[in-house]
Amino acid sequence: MEKAIITVVGKDQVGIIAKVCQFLAIKNINILDISQTILQGYFNMMMIVDVSVANEDFGVICDELDKMGEDIGVNIKLQHEEIFNKMHRI
* Whole-structure pTM value: 0.88
Q: For residue 86, name the pLDDT band (cuts at 50, 70, 90).
A: low
pLDDT tens-digit readout, 7-36: 999 999 999 999 999 999 999 999 999 999
Phi, psi for 16 (deg, rounded to 5): -60, -50
Element (H, E) at 56: none
pLDDT at 81 (0 to 100): 73
pLDDT tens-digit readout, 64-82: 999 999 999 999 999 997 7
Q: Is 73 helix (H, G, I), strand (E, B) or coil?
A: coil
Phi, psi for 33 (deg, rounded to 5): -155, 150
Q: Is 80 exceeded by the pLDDT of residue 63?
A: yes
